Structure 1
Amino acid sequence: MKMNNAVRSLGSPTIGKSLLKLSALSLSMMCLSLAHAAEAEETNQPTKVAKVTVTGSSIKGVAAQSASPITILKGEDLAKQGITTVEEALTKVSANQAGFTTSQNVGASNTEGSSANLRALGTDKTLVLLNGRRLAYSPFSTSTTNLNIIPMAMVERVEILRDGASAVYGADAIAGVINFITKKSFEGLSISAGALQPEESGGDQQDISIFGGYGDLDEQGFNIYGVVDYRRTNNIMAKDRKVSRRGGVLPELGLDASSANGFPANFYDPNGGPLDKDGKPTGLLANPYGDSNCNNAPNVVADGGLCYLNTQALIGITPKTETVSALGRGTFKLSDTFNLVGEYIFSRNKVATSIAPDVYSRSVSLPSSSQYYPGQGITPGVDGISGKPIQLYLRSQAGNRMSETTTDSHRIFAGVEGEAYGWDMNGGVTYAQSEATDSFAGGYLNRSNLQAALNDGSINPFGASADSNLWKSFEVNGDTNKGKLKSTTADFTVSRPIYTLPAGEVGFAFGGSFTKQEWDQKVNSAIVSQVPSSGIDPNKPISEGDRDISALFTEFHIPILANLEAQLAARYDDYSDFGDTFNPKIAFRWEPMKELMFRTSYSTGFRAPSLYDINAPQSETYTGSKYNDPVLCPGGTATSPQYQTECNVQFKRMQGGSPDLQPEESTSYTAGFVLEPIKNLVFTADYYNIEVDNLISTISDAMIFDDPDKYSDRFIRDTDGRIKYVNTTLVNMGGIKTEGVDLSLNYLAPTTKTGRFGFGIDGTYIMKYDRQDEKGGKWEGIVGTYDDPAIVRWKHVANVNWSYENWKMVFEQQFTRGYKDQNTTGDEKYDNHRVSDYTLYNISGTYSGFKNLEVTAGIKNIFDEEPSASNVTDNFQYGYDPRYTDPVGRAYFVRGTYKF
């Protein structure tokens, strides 16, 4: 093909060998990648400078010359460390923290599955691309990409732009961009398989990938290839790990999250109990076995005459996952200068979760005619009972509630790329669709059938029933909720040098796009109406929305001096449902000497309220944490015995969207340098400063209960004064201000008789993270503290590596600084608890000396580090936070790749 020479060096008319070394070293976080780059240097072969489109720019250039900070991860190097999922790969990026993890699907519905979170600004402010174009967002958020649908086996490299990029990519790129890039072509056939086995039960993984391709683009005029990838991971039950087997009863952390909805059931008799001064009954809250150790039921504790179930000891702390993915790509030479490209990617991801048995909090009752009514001969009597129907705080005996979420993702792209009349041209049409389905897979019961069985005396809410299989017969299985998001985009970009200045050529790019998005969510009212504990509103079976987005953008690279260049970019977007927005960016790159380069940028950004934000149905679910009703149980003490159930309990909360939301807006500033004081030693430092206004978020249940007077209108109560729910629907709130610095140091020693050694460390230090809950409100500094989630001040990944002939080894450390805990216990004794630092050590080795076969083996978490103790209650996992620590423990992995 004709060589593309549309744009020269962005810093000077020619590119020196030192600058190429700088690029190879400074942009890779993985030391193995550094070894490959440096080994290529020593071949004494002429270096070909490839012009490529680098994430963050529409103009082709050399990656090292970017005025914005970019981190590059090589898929091959990640695989050699036993990494098979995108979620795990992004733990290697220090700028990414507090994303939504797959483990957080436990106890949740309508989730995004798994997502990234650069700068801890929120998962909806990191833009995720595949080969430079958008994937369909999760249909249960329509603003984040489910990382589980991206097959790591197909990824050649990951480019992470740690800078705002709305001027180039439009909405959602406030915190940065993560671009997953697959192979452009492939010839031959290869198969790769791997397995991971923890020392303790559960959490084992298996995966297999098959690659096949045919055709030489230059010789035959085409290349087609395909990849099929399958991955599965088994769940881990709370009982199988030391950190979780005690569930939510952790006195050393001030936690007692046991539930009054248990078995044997507690009951409330509104017509029983002592009489008040007017001769009316005050109500009776009791348990017929509360004074006899609750019949020694497992995971149940007697306290004050009641029985409490330790629900968190029953759950699966990590879900079972299964993913199958397929990629097909074809490149066909239309002429010497143009190629036709077609690409299709499919992924199906299943996440299966397990939580405590179905719950009934006074939503079912026991008539006095039941043979199991207290005092009727089978169940012990209770003093003060009225002999009238009693309301039950009951748990099902049909086993854990099992849920499954299945996400199908499709993306089809067809386009043309090449050069004509000196212009680089790239355009095409992309259709992306994501469909997610939540399902009951076991343990959810039909309340009406249960009530009928209580009425006719066939179910015993206090012990064994005559027919032990009857509970299972009440199960309701099937799809409960489906969401679908479809997006069709036509786009084009053209670029070329348009003028020659004394310092070099001016690069210019221009482009545009048109996108149509359609979203709908359908609730299976027939099923969810039978199961109140689902938290899904059956009264709004269909929600939907659509929008059109038109965009124009331009970009200039201007060489001001031989060693000083400016990047100017601007983008105009028009949304059919809220209006238009204009976002510019200006960046400078200065290389005063061959060993030193400075860079800085300023840009604005925005995030439009998503279709889900605007149109999502409002539905009830339970709060993650437990609270005291500020009116009926102030300070944890019930104002009357019947209100004891309003103390330390999960209340319901209303969640959902709002049509009145306005876009978020941001400003971003970066400044940094890259220094190579001696050969193969590279140090980088990049400062960032980001401010987000008009933040779309919720007034969380924690905020509401922490200041009940201020948020009194958020408490919605029923006729008897109990909390019906708290209102946590989406609103435009205040903002976020954050600043910090990314640091990296990488070194590769010269080759010796014993091989070649190297080391590297990449970390992010957050200097400030201030949050404003309401417009005009006070700013509160929360870095180093928990604020759903915690804002970790320092995080790094370091490694030492060695290579010799066919051998390569990597020893790695992953470190996360501790922070002030959530501390929602209400007990001063625990208010200053800190989550300790968390450090993991991993080791892996690869041997490639076999014919056509490469083998990798290693150990993750060599020293079997336990997750750091935390009293966080915002997730279903108690005792630790699954966003920052891993309960798998020490695990061994092996991987083999055979090329035919």
Structure 2
Amino acid sequence: MLEKALSRSIRLICLGGVTLGMSAAFAQTATPEIQKVTVTGSRISSPNAESPSPLQVLNAADIAQSGATNLQELLLENPTMGTPAISRTNSNFSTASAGVATVDLRNLGIDRTLVLINGRRVVSGLPGSAAVDLNTIPTDFIERVELLTGGASATYGSDAVAGVVNIILKKNFNGVLADAQIGGSEQGDDAKRKLSVTFGTSSADGASNIMGHFGYSRQGAVYSKDRDISAVDQYSTGALSGNVDELFQVTRPFYSSFAPQGRFFHDTGSYTYDAAGNPVPFSTNGSATLPASGFNRSEFRTIAVPTERYNFATSGNLALGENHSAFFEGNYASTSVTTKLEPFPLGAENIYVDGQVPAELLINGALVRNPIVPQYLYDRISDTNGDGLRDYYFSRRISEVGTRGSTAERDTFRLASGLKGTIKDWNYEVFGVYGSTKEAQSSAGQVNVLNFRHALEAIPGADGTPMCADATARSQGCVPINVFGFNTISPAALKYVSAPGSLETKTTQKIIGANISGEPFQLPAGGLGVAAGYEWRKEYSSSTPDALTQAGLNAGNATPPTEGEFSVKEAYVEARVPLLKDQAFAKSLSFLGAVRVGDYSTVGNTTSWNGGFEWSPVADVKFRATRALSTRAPNINELYSPPSQDFPQVEDPCEGVTATTPGARADACRAAPGVMANINANGAFTLNQSDIQGVSGFNRGNPNLAEEEGRSTTVGVVVTPRSIPMLNKFTFTADYFKIDIEDAIVSTPRQYALESCYGGGNTSFCNFITRRPTAIGANSAGSLEFVDTAVSNSGGLGTEGVDVTVAWADNVGPGRLNARLAWTHLLDGYDIPLPGAERDPWEGEIGAAKNKGSLSLGYKWGKFNLTSNTTYIGESALDNVFLAGFDAAPGSVKVKEKVYNDFQLTYNLRKEVDLYAGVDNAFNTKAPPIITGLPGNTTGAETDAGTYDPIGRRYYVGLRVKM
């Protein structure tokens, strides 16, 4: 990997050098310093620019003092951030996204947060999505990160419904800066290694500059078995008993019933095998008289996936005369992630539709007993599916195949280049961007179900030795498989049934754009600021699993390939109109507005806008208010995903209906021929266990999706009392925000589709449902065969709250103290799954605490600099829909607030050499026990590992040298 990464980075740097012709740069005349700047939230350049919308900024010092190897780690401490959909600690069970690092402003979804680099878009790190992988952005190459909360689509385009994360890279850097760091948890895992070198040089006149960066980091694995809370499989006692008072009590162990020695079902019960190979009763958890014979999955699971990254970045600026320059910025990131989880749990239903394995075969008209089936089982089974053959059901952990997991290699490349400058006081920029992300994933631990079926169906050979019954299968290497007991699968049989998997993905992004800004004329209160621009963008994505996975023949769900693209042309105009200046009760008053129109190849025309006011009655106080309409066009997955198989848990609304049951629901059920046949046979519509557990369905995209629209309102105040001597180093901001998304792009809830189809007054949802017309195998007539779901514009989503920030810095004693507090209080948060459905509130639930805060303190004294960051996550409740199933009131079952403290001490060894040491989660705050069976649980962690720290106290030391 290192050789490949170095080769790609050299090409990247060379490409940047060719783009600018840097060797000729150093003879140019110095470009005069331009006093106009641009801030996130506006494209207008103006003196002393401030953001027209709520903005929080993290600078390079904040990043360095956090010790973070990944920007996500620092951003998650900001209270405006929701729980990430994907992080290193909650993605071990993910298929195409393990180890990816995303951000989610306001808990509105990762596809509604727009991530930019220097104000320009970044290629996605997830196939089919717009979400950016922060693994690809080197932390030590970042100058600052600007967080704009609230709709910003009029300024930046689609996807900025919740806000913008604008990452500003360093520029005009001279010299060499090296940073090396090692660390790990106090448990001896989560080993961290980091090395980065940043270098740059400028021309003699300072007009041109080129920079480069190399970074390497590795974060080691953390396994479930190495934390007391997750070392043994467990389950919520209350979730099992239905007692709300026992939800946080633990039934432990609660082993899986899929055991390595197998569990075998006969006509009157089930049994397993002990270590000596004797049949014994099966028990998942054990009792006073019966030992546990299940399987501890936690022995193999991962809390934090090991992640290795190589990052290369380069940027440059070449002066082309006095007022013009060429620029480029590029980066290449190579990321390797490894997941690990328990061996595959195989059930007979994975191989046979009805879950019944024949213990006899019909060969040339005669019944032949399978010699692999033990006599103990053979004597206790009969024909249960009507085919005339004795059959049985089994479940077994295929431990001989080994642990499941995957290794994913991701490569992201991005190059932006263009021209910028001034023409008669107008600033212009013309640019092009190309980005691509490729992933190659290999996985193990699955089996080929067709081969497994052939291997299960054995007959005696000529010499009495078992052989596969199917002659074609024998010619292809079939070897009979023995699943009865510990380690009974032979190496030859294992080779025949094993099915390694693969996944290849590719995402590309192409952009051409231009911006212009200036002040065309002066008004009595100041210059009229105007910006306008155009952008063409094309996005492409493909995801191709191996052939067995596509067909659903590796004992998993069928996952077909996905491929699609779209293009968009957008134009915008923005204005800042000064209305009053230096008047009574109006030190300044300005109007701000922007409009963006787009033409998508998929959804057609879109329009976004925002408008607002900034009013300073006096110099030290500013009030601001904005109203915006933001749009988000559907991504490639939402548009083009073909049907992929799933096995949902649903309740059939027709169960129990008789020929005389009154009501619209019963009438709709009886209209289905299979349901009526079932009623005629049984007196009431009746389901067996196979019917309940055998429901399948497909998830699919929708090429007819329209854009969703988010309406946001922000009202705030900024207080900077510079005229008061005692408070001239103090800043206070408070902002109210409200975001409501109409026509939100969501997947139709399956249970809602069932209820709507059968008596709910919307028969269009019946298109998602397929029932069996007659009894098939072990399944009853009229039972549900498929319940599908598709993406639609039928939902709503919103949030409301208040952000408060307080900052102060001044000399205290012999040193200087810096303090900053950021706090977010949620007033509302909701989902509406479908039109007419009731709101599902989520504010105050786990992952969306009503109160979140971050307090940063720093004290610099001579050669010492001590910093701390305290993160507060308020008291949070279990999901209200889950609690409703226990007849419990929303918010009645909660986990306590959590406080995390991080510290770093830096000592200046000499002028440009710093030695630093830090500790994260210094007081070893334990994550709350959100255990298996409770909503919000992260499999393998026994908590919500995206919201809370599942690892514990961690230490690191590092050395930073500037030359």
TM-score, L = length of structure 2: 0.79
What's the offset of the Cα at 1:87?
1.4
State how many pairs are aligned: 825
Per-residue CA distance 1:386-426 (angstroms, 9 max, x = gap): 88232322221122211233322111111011112211111
Q: Does 1:417 align with 2:420?
A: yes
What corresponds to 2:439 in structure 1? 436
What corresponds to 1:25 in structure 2? none
What corresponds to 1:884 in structure 2? 947
What's the offset of the Cα at 1:516?
2.2
Pick which of 493-502 and 461-470 moved more. 461-470
Secondary structure in 1 matching 2:555:
helix
Correspondent of 1:685 among 734, 758, 778: 734
Per-residue CA distance 1:185-236 (angstroms, 9 max, x = gap): 32222321112210114322211112222333734x5322211111211222
What corresponds to 2:870 in structure 1? 813
What corresponds to 1:406 in structure 2? 409
Structure 1 residues 567 and 828: alpha-carbon distance in aligned structure 2, compared to 1, 3 A threshold: closer
What's the offset of the Cα at 1:339?
1.2
What corresponds to 1:329 in structure 2? 315
Secondary structure in 1 matching 2:949:
coil
Q: Distance in 1 between matches of 2:691 and 2:504?
A: 34
Pick which of 882-891 and 543-552 moved more. 543-552
What's the offset of the Cα at 1:488?
1.3
CA contact (8 A) 1:616 1:657 kept: yes
What's the offset of the Cα at 1:737?
3.0
What corresponds to 2:66 in structure 1? 81
Correspondent of 1:727 among 788, 791, 811: 788
Structure 1 residues 645 and 64: alpha-carbon distance in aligned structure 2, compared to 1, 3 A threshold: farther
Pick which of 845-854 and 118-127 moved more. 845-854
Structure 1 residues 874 and 663: alpha-carbon distance in aligned structure 2, compared to 1, 3 A threshold: farther
What's the offset of the Cα at 1:758?
3.1
Q: Does 1:575 align with 2:600?
A: yes
Pick which of 457-466 and 224-233 moved more. 457-466
What corresponds to 1:672 in structure 2? 716
Q: Does 1:90 align with 2:62?
A: no
What corresponds to 1:26 in structure 2? none
Superposed, 1:244-643 pairs within 5 Å as: 244-251=230-237, 253=248, 259-268=256-265, 273=267, 286-289=270-273, 301=285, 308-312=294-298, 314-362=300-348, 363-364=350-351, 365=357, 367-368=359-360, 369-375=369-375, 382=380, 388-397=390-399, 398-440=401-443, 442-456=444-458, 459-466=481-488, 469=491, 473=495, 476=498, 480-526=502-548, 529=551, 531-537=553-559, 540-541=560-561, 543-562=562-581, 563-621=588-646, 643=688
What's the offset of the Cα at 1:356?
2.2
Q: Distance in 2 between matches of 1:802 and 1:327?
A: 32
Paired AA for residue 586 in structure 1: G
Pick which of 99-108 and 248-257 moved more. 248-257
What's the offset of the Cα at 1:550?
0.8
Correspondent of 2:923 among 854, 863, 866: 863
Paired AA for residue 420 in structure 1: I
Secondary structure in 1 matching 2:867:
strand
Secondary structure in 2 matching 1:659:
coil
Structure 1 residues 828 and 265: alpha-carbon distance in aligned structure 2, compared to 1, 3 A threshold: farther
Q: Distance in 2 between matches of 1:249 and 1:667?
A: 42
CA contact (8 A) 2:537 2:568 kept: yes
Per-residue CA distance 1:791-814 (angstroms, 9 max, x = gap): 321111113321112211112211
Q: Does 1:130 align with 2:117?
A: yes
What's the offset of the Cα at 1:724?
4.9
Q: Distance in 2 between matches of 1:601 and 1:802?
A: 37
What's the offset of the Cα at 1:297?
12
Structure 1 residues 167 and 576: alpha-carbon distance in aligned structure 2, compared to 1, 3 A threshold: same
Q: Distance in 2 between matches of 1:74 and 1:593?
A: 29
The gaps in structure 1 that reach 5 residues or longer are: 6-49, 274-283
Structure 1 residues 809 and 396: alpha-carbon distance in aligned structure 2, compared to 1, 3 A threshold: same
Q: Does 1:742 align with 2:799?
A: no
What corresponds to 2:724 in structure 1? none
Q: Distance in 2 between matches of 1:650 and 1:877?
A: 26
Paired AA for residue 226 in structure 2: D
What corresponds to 1:101 in structure 2? 86
What corresponds to 2:675 in structure 1? none
Q: Distance in 2 between matches of 1:891 and 1:622?
A: 40
Paired AA for residue 413 in structure 1: A
CA contact (8 A) 2:284 2:292 kept: no
CA contact (8 A) 1:872 1:879 kept: no
Per-residue CA distance 1:485-515 (angstroms, 9 max, x = gap): 2221111111111111111111111111111
Q: Distance in 2 between matches of 1:842 and 1:380?
A: 63
CA contact (8 A) 1:294 1:301 kept: no
Q: Distance in 1 between matches of 2:40 and 2:277?
A: 63
What corresponds to 1:834 in structure 2? 894
Q: Distance in 2 between matches of 1:756 and 1:854?
A: 18
Secondary structure in 2 matching 1:776:
coil
Secondary structure in 1 matching 2:414:
strand
Structure 1 residues 830 and 572: alpha-carbon distance in aligned structure 2, compared to 1, 3 A threshold: closer
Correspondent of 1:802 among 833, 852, 859: 859
Per-residue CA distance 1:689-731 (angstroms, 9 max, x = gap): 1110001112346867999966887565664146655423322
Paired AA for residue 841 in structure 2: G
| Greater length-normalized contact order (CA 8 Å, ≥ 6 residues apart) | 1
Paired AA for residue 287 in structure 1: Y
Instruction: Return the index of the structure with the highest Cα Rg.
Output: 2
Q: Distance in 2 between matches of 1:247 and 1:391?
A: 24
CA contact (8 A) 2:549 2:556 kept: no
CA contact (8 A) 1:374 1:382 kept: no
Q: Does 1:773 align with 2:833?
A: yes
Q: Distance in 2 between matches of 1:293 and 1:250?
A: 33
Structure 1 residues 534 and 147: alpha-carbon distance in aligned structure 2, compared to 1, 3 A threshold: farther
CA contact (8 A) 2:700 2:791 kept: yes
What corresponds to 2:208 in structure 1? 222
CA contact (8 A) 1:480 1:523 kept: yes
What corresponds to 1:150 in structure 2? 137
The gaps in structure 2 that reach 5 residues or longer are: 1-29, 238-245, 352-356, 361-368, 459-465, 467-479, 582-587, 658-683, 722-726
Paired AA for residue 231 in structure 1: S
Paired AA for residue 582 in structure 1: T
CA contact (8 A) 1:872 1:880 kept: no
Structure 1 residues 641 and 697: alpha-carbon distance in aligned structure 2, compared to 1, 3 A threshold: closer
Per-residue CA distance 1:25-55 (angstroms, 9 max, x = gap): xxxxxxxxxxxxxxxxxxxxxxxxx432211
- The share of aligned pairs that are identical, in percent, is 24
Q: Distance in 1 between matches of 2:592 and 2:867?
A: 38
Q: Distance in 2 between matches of 1:878 and 1:701?
A: 28
Q: Distance in 2 between matches of 1:295 and 1:209?
A: 59
CA contact (8 A) 1:96 1:116 kept: yes
TM-score, L = length of structure 1: 0.84
Q: Distance in 2 between matches of 1:652 and 1:76?
A: 52
